[in-house]
């Protein structure tokens, strides 16, 4: 078991405690850094956080707080990806509705000119 980090782990009594720690880390990261500017940036930050956790693993002393940071970066990236997908879907729906309205107007205009 991790030597330096036992106290932190003992303070986390259940899933809710860990989830709260994750949410706090996500909020602090968002406040400090904002959104990722690209998926490459997300990958780089995720790799950096994982490397910090991995350093502890290699020393047989993994830091659970580093693992929380890995999870926070991954969850933040996932949320951003989902937000982008929803925005793109809404744009596609608006474009489709606009094209359909234009077709209806053309048909109505063509019907009146005949």
Is 46 a domain residue?
yes
Would you say residue 68 lies in a domain?
A: yes
Give the whole-angstrom CA distance, residue 71 versus residue 74.
Answer: 5
Structure confidence by residue, pLDDT tens digits, 33-69? 999 999 999 999 999 999 999 999 999 989 999 999 9
Domain count for the chain, please give it: 1
The answer to whether residue 49 is domain-embedded is yes
User: What's the domain range around 20?
Assistant: 6-81
Average pLDDT, the chain: 90
Q: Which residue has the tokens 């009594």?
A: 13
Examine residue 50 and state whether it is found in any structural domain, yes or no.
yes
Q: In this predicted structure, what is the pLDDT of residue 114? A: 60
- Does residue 27 form part of some domain? yes
Give a yes or no: residue 32 inside a domain: yes
1 has pLDDT over 70: no
12 falls within a domain = yes
Virtual torsion, Cα 60, 71, 46, 36, nearest 10 deg: -160
- Domain assignment present for 91: no
């Amino acid at each position: 078991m991790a030597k330096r980090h036992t106290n932190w782990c003992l303070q986390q009594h259940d899933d809710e405690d860990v989830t709260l720690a994750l949410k706090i880390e996500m909020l602090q990261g968002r406040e400090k850094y904002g959104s990722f500017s690209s998926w490459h940036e997300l990958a780089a930050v995720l790799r950096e956080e994982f490397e910090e956790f991995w350093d502890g693993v290699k020393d047989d002393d993994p830091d659970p707080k580093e693992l929380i940071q890995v999870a926070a970066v991954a969850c933040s990236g996932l949320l951003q990806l989902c937000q982008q997908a929803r925005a793109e879907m809404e744009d596609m729906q608006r474009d489709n509705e606009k094209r359909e309205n234009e077709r209806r107007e053309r048909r109505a205009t063509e019907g009146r000119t005949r």
